[in-house]
Structure 1
Amino acid sequence: MTSPWPQPYYLFGRGLAFSAFLAILPTLLLLFLLAVKRKASWIAALAGLAATIVLAIGAYGMSWQHTFSAAAYGAAFGLFPITWVIYWALVLYQITVRTAKFEVIKDSIGAITSDARLQALLIAFAFGAFLEGCAGFGTPVAVAAAMMVGLGFAPLYASSLCLLANTAPVAFGSIGIPILTLAAVTGLSMNHLSADIGMICAPISFFLPAYLILVTSGRAAVRAVWPAVLVCGASFALVQFSVSRSIGPQLTDVLSSLAAMAALILLLRRWQPTQIESIHPATSTTPRTHTAREIWSAWMPYALLVVFVLAWGIGPVQSLLSKATTAFAWPGLHNEILRQPPVARTPALYAAIFNGNWLSAAGTACMFASLFSALAARMKLRAFLEECGTVVRILIYPTITVTAMLAMAFVMNYSGATGTLGLAFAATGSAVPFFSSITGWLGVFLTGSDTASNALFGNLQVVSATRLQLDPTLMAAANSAGGVMGKMISLQSIAVAAAATGMSVPEQAKLFRFTLRHSILLASIVGLEVLLYAHILHHVR
């Protein structure tokens, strides 16, 4: 048996600054192609992967067998369980669209109140979070902003509200995919990461409804609807905090948003603002009314999603389903690489185990929810298969992006490049918790994805935390929680909002300037919050 290959962290006998500069080059190339050259995400991801492979072999001295095995390992994880979850979450969404149930869902939300401020809370914040949890990938901004324009909101106003609101739920979006990815690249517990991210995001979620109304309508508007603002923020934050700790990331957004919508509906049955602020231009549309049975039938697919995901988390069910798991050591990689101090506390072999938990995966729960929803809607087999095919076409390029990004992240991890960057990042000392959040924010701003940011920078945070004897779970969580504040200014999000609302080019520039200052402020608040948890309140976690 050959001895394991020891990871180097200092390249060509040079210092840390030079080594870190080389290590960051593939990431800089990726970000340059995305943000400056405006290349498609999949092209930038493939270019970043190619550059990382060259770096691993040419600078770190990693064998080509280890390099390509690490890339294949990352790509395989990108396909399962990540793309598996995304695929069935989108199939479920497409089923509701194909059977016209989604129109009923939108009407049921839009008809609750005619007050524009309350509609903003219901649609931009609560319903947008629901869509983020179920589908993600731009769906919340596109659907919610279009709904609000249909109700009479100006395109710029609607887009501003939806982009600001699409922050609190992003870390738990698409049935928890960003956290699942973060757990994979860091080797940390998914549930522990979920708990820490919920702890960071919940205070922001509590104040976000008030912040939305304040920055778009002013203090008087907040005072006029303060009961709704309080109920909406408190219900969402409480459920987000509780579910992220007790159940995990898969249903955090779904249950939090449903709780916020339910709480608002119950409040509005007993309370209404003294003066209704309505928007009724000629272009507005009035939501259609539906029977209680029609509304229940429309929401049933997502009720089934909740039931199946919860059932999948029950101990005996999980144990039974796990019997179909096929776990194996990844060939040409498992325990063939040695992590060394100061990145690891002691020399340790780097494991590479692929878990094919085909039945117990969250994506399989989504699959069953989709199948039962199609049956309940009496959807013809041909129509169901057509929607499955539609989602395949939708996901061709996103799948290339996801697999390439994960392959890139895994090559960086196994080659030692992430270790080099983590050591350099640790040089910021006690300010690392703040900059962990800012790094995540920058990653999402440039890539448009919390999942991508976690893949790129998640393990960097762990290395820095280990070096400084900070909690690695909290630092990795800070990357994801800070990242969500970059979503509102990513070019992809701006483009989605513009397409959904028909904004002009000057309005798009104005929208970016508006969201930029709020993005920086909120990311800084998250950074300060993480500093507080890391250095002062660490004993309460």
Structure 2
Amino acid sequence: MYQQVIDPVGSSLGWSALVAAIPLLALFTLLGVVRMRAWLAALFGLSLTLLVAVVMYGMPAGQAFNSALEGAAFGLFPAMWIVVNAIWIYRMTVASGHFDVARRAFARVSDDQRVQGIIIAFSFGALLEALAGFGTPVAICSVMLIAVGLPPLKAATVALIANTAPVAYGAVGLPVITLARVTGLPLGDLSAMTGRQVPVLALFVPLALLVVLDGRRGVREAWPAALTCGVSFAAVQYLMANHGPMELTDVAAALVSAGAVLLLLRVWRPREGTSQEATPHPADDSAGTGTGTGTGTGGDGGGESAGLGTAVRTEAPPRRPDTRIEVVRAFAPYAVIIALFSVVSVSAVRDALARTTAFFAWPGLHIASPDGKPLALVQFKFDWLAGGGTVLLVAGLVTAVVLRVPMRQAATAYGHTLHQLRTAAVTVTAVLALAYVMNASGQTATMGALLARAGSLFPLLSPVLGWFGTAVTGSDTSSNSLFGALQVSAAEGSGHAPVLTAAANTSGGVLGKMISPQNLAIGAAAVGLAGREGELFRRVLAATAVFVPFLCVLVYLQSTPLLSWMVP
């Protein structure tokens, strides 16, 4: 039995915390300063973590490697299992031509670019984040916004800022699922608490998009659309996170918000709408217009950007209008996913599927916490049938039939998806392995004990940890893996509710997504502006600088009697 010690370096908590932080500092430096590829940086960080665990913390080498293997196994299943099947479905919509049908359907909703920007970047982007995540919404929405007439730099900026509020429940809830796994806290409580923080941000994100799209005039003339979108999205996100199938939180919120704006457009139009033809393209945005682009998947999980085959063309030959049945088929995959997850959430079905789930102690791990209690982290959950990835696999098979994609072509698309995500898989498994070693060895407990000395002010800082982790790794899932247990440890030491600060890690992480190097690179590449990531960073910096302090204050107030009623 290995028992954790929180001050192994000279019996000093400060020095021990500094040593424990070396792997994270190295990982962030390699990613943010050296600009090393994410998978290489993650492997290097994992090696340092193993070294610190064995040499400085005295953890038996066998147990250190076994804890890394457990983390890597979780990275493959369910994390990458979800991502692979989600992006496979998207690939089939592109291959069948139905993705373009969906894009044209959005363009016909309104001739006002501000309304189009809100629906495409926020609502449809949220749907893509819900089903795939991992940078997909930024790449795809940037392409679609150019297709409806936005300048490239503005299109990428809007897509990045919009990809915030939905991130917490992206990839069918993977960030929250991962947070529950690494912290040992109930998934329902974490989902509910996150659903009482992120929706507050969702109220204001569409208004921020109007500022980017058309400045003060955009807010003055199109605020009803932004308000309708934000309020409907926030309300449904809260309800689903607290009472519905957590995996469908963003799916439902995205569809309802888009529907609400469509209903609004029946009785209201912007006073002075800016049409696609009327908006001039600034000179500094001209580079990149009309370039071919592949949509990337870096973002949530730290994967590398990779082409998914979508191209932007400024000139297209005349074509016949899309029929109603083609439009229905274009949105059918999303309806199939919603239907399947709804069925799985039914109590009788859920209980039947749960009987196939296996729980077992990870071989070779015998670990006790500093107070002598067995560590729950050594228990592995293998829900091969009830997991979200399996549901998406079935949805993909149904999608192939609905879109009339031949099985051979569907299988080829699956193979291409696996090849595309090969480096993302290495990154995800390495980061989760690193997190598991830190949690098992006691490195996380050491840093948590030090942060707990912040006392009553710790909740004010907790969202910053999540923001920083996502900003560097490009992934709310990875940020939760790295800092989730740390948030819980610090909260317990400072007398705060662990579920509050753990959820704050997820909520803060959604605001780091827009400035992460991976997402900036994806956004720039998607619109043909590779090499101009610095300009894109400056455009989104103001948004994160406004939203992060706002969230910090909200979480702090939730730790006080003023808003403590919001904590489940």
* Deviation, structure 1 residue 97: 1.2
Residue 447 (structure 1) aligned with residue 464 (structure 2): no
Q: Are residues 1:524 and 2:549 paired?
A: yes
Q: Aligned equivalents of 1:5 and 1:511: distance in 2?
A: 48
- Counting matched residue pairs gives 530
8 Å Cα contact 1:195-1:248 kept in structure 2: no
**Do the aligned partners of 1:461 and 1:475 also contact (CA within 8 Å) in 2?**
yes
Aligned sequence identity (%) = 40
1:50 aligns with 2:47: yes
Once residues 238 and 539 of structure 1 are traced to their aligned partners in structure 2, the CA distance between those partners, rounded to angstroms, is 18
CA distance in 1, matches of 2:211, 2:244: 33
In 2, distance between residues paired with 1:395 and 1:118?
34
In structure 2, the CA distance between the partners of 1:265 and 1:285, relative to structure 1 (3 Å rule), is farther
User: How far off its partner does 1:215 sit?
Assistant: 4.4
Q: Which residue does the alignment assign to 1:211?
A: 208
Q: Is the 1:191–1:248 contact (alpha carbons within 8 Å) kept by the matching residues of 2? A: no
Q: Are 1:312 and 2:344 matched, yes or no?
A: yes
The whole-number CA distance in structure 2 between the counterparts of 1:503 and 1:540 is 43
The question of 1:459 aligning with 2:485 is answered yes
1:250-283 residue CA offsets vs partner (Å, 9 max, x unmatched) = 1111111111111111111222112221232697
1:107 aligns to what SS in structure 2? helix
3-state DSSP class of the match of 1:327? strand
Match of 2:57 in 1: 60
TM-score, normalization by structure 1: 0.95
Q: How far has the Cα of 1:489 moved from its partner?
A: 0.8
Confirm whether residue 403 of structure 1 aligns to residue 429 of structure 2.
yes
The alpha-carbon distance between structure 1 residues 117 and 20, as it changes in their structure 2 partners (threshold 3 A), is same
Aligned residue in 1 for 2:325: 293
Task: Confirm or deny: 8 A CA contact 1:152 1:285 kept in the other structure.
Answer: no
Retained in 2: the 8 A contact 1:450–1:483? yes
CA distance in 1, matches of 2:71, 2:566: 35
Asked if 1:537 is matched to 2:556, the reply is no
Q: Aligned to 2:25, which of 20, 25, 28?
A: 28
- Give the Å deviation of 1:288: 7.3
Match of 1:12, SS state, is coil
User: Per-residue CA shift, 1:68-109, capped at 9, x if unaligned?
Assistant: 111111111111111111111111111111111111111111
Query: CA offset at residue 504 of structure 1?
Result: 6.2
The equivalent of 2:76 in structure 1 is 79
Q: Are the equivalent residues in 1 in contact too, given 2:6–2:443 (CA < 8 A)? A: yes
Q: CA deviation at 1:432?
A: 0.9
CA distance in 2, matches of 1:204, 1:288: 41
Answering whether residue 37 of structure 2 is matched by residue 40 of structure 1, we say yes
Letter in 1 for 2:433: A
Say whether residues 1:136 and 2:133 are aligned partners. yes
Q: What is the alpha-carbon distance in structure 1 between the residues aligned to residue 163 and residue 400 of structure 2?
A: 29
Unaligned stretches of 5+ in structure 1? 342-346
Equivalence map 1:86-485=2 (5 Å): 86-280=83-277, 289-333=321-365, 336-341=366-371, 347-351=372-376, 352-485=378-511
- The Cα shift of 1:156 comes to 1.5
Moved more, 267-276 or 302-311: 267-276
Q: Which amino acid aligns with 2:504?
A: A
- Partners of 2:248 and 2:208 lie apart in 1 by 25
Shift of the alpha carbon at 1:141? 0.9
Determine the C-alpha separation between the residues in 1 that align with 2:393 and 2:536: 37
Helix, strand or coil at the partner of 2:165: coil
Moved more, 509-518 or 129-138: 509-518
For residues 169-222 of structure 1, give each alpha carbon's deviation from its aligned partner in whole angstroms, at most 9, with x where no partner exists: 111111111111111111111221111111101111012111221344223321
Q: 1:504 to 1:308 in 2, by over 3 A?
A: closer
2:266 aligned counterpart, secondary structure: helix
Q: Judging changes above 3 Å, is the alpha-carbon distance between structure 1 residues 289 and 111 closer, same or farther for their aligned structure 2 residues?
A: farther
Conserved 8 A contact 1:151-1:285: no
Shift of the alpha carbon at 1:327? 2.0
CA deviations 1:304-339 (Å, max 9, x no partner) are 101111111111101111222222211111xx2111
Matched to 1:326, the amino acid is: A
Is the contact between residue 24 and residue 421 of structure 1 (CA under 8 Å) also seen in structure 2?
A: yes
**In structure 2, what residue type is equivalent to 1:320?**
A
Does residue 533 of structure 2 align to residue 508 of structure 1? yes
RMSD: 1.6
Q: Is the 8 A contact 2:193 2:566 kept in 1?
A: no
Q: Normalization by structure 2: what TM-score?
A: 0.91
| Equivalent-residue separation in structure 2 for 1:43 and 1:324 (angstroms) | 36
* 2:194 counterpart letter in structure 1: I
8 A Cα contact 1:53 1:67, kept in partner: yes
Structure 1 stretches of 4+ moved >4 Å = 281-288
Where structure 2 has 5 or more consecutive residues not aligned to the other structure, the ranges are: 282-289, 291-313
| 2: CA distance, partners of 1:312 / 1:200 | 26
- Partner SS, residue 137 of structure 1: coil
SS of residue paired to 1:270: coil
Aligned counterparts of 1:411 and 1:13: Cα–Cα separation in 2: 21
Query: Does the Cα contact within 8 Å between 1:16 and 1:420 map onto a contact in 2?
Result: yes
Q: Distance in 1 between matches of 2:414 and 2:197?
A: 36
Are the counterparts in 2 of residues 194 and 248 from structure 1 also a CA contact under 8 Å? no
TM-superposition CA deviations, 1:205-252 (whole Å, max 9, x none)? 012111221344223321211221121111101111111111243111
Q: Name the amino acid aligned to 1:25.
A: I
Q: Partners in 2 of 1:521 and 1:76 — Cα distance? A: 38
Shift, 1:297, TM fit:
1.1
Deviations 1:474-510 (A, max 9, x none): 10110110111111111111111111112264x5322
The separation in 2 between residues aligned to 1:378 and 1:515, in whole angstroms, is 40
Q: Which residue of 2 aligns with 1:344?
A: none
1:107 touches 1:289 (CA, 8 Å); kept in 2?
Answer: no
Distance in 2, matches of 1:215 and 1:524, equals 20
Partners of 2:226 and 2:320 in 1: how far apart?
26
Q: Report the secondary structure of 2:109's partner residue.
A: coil
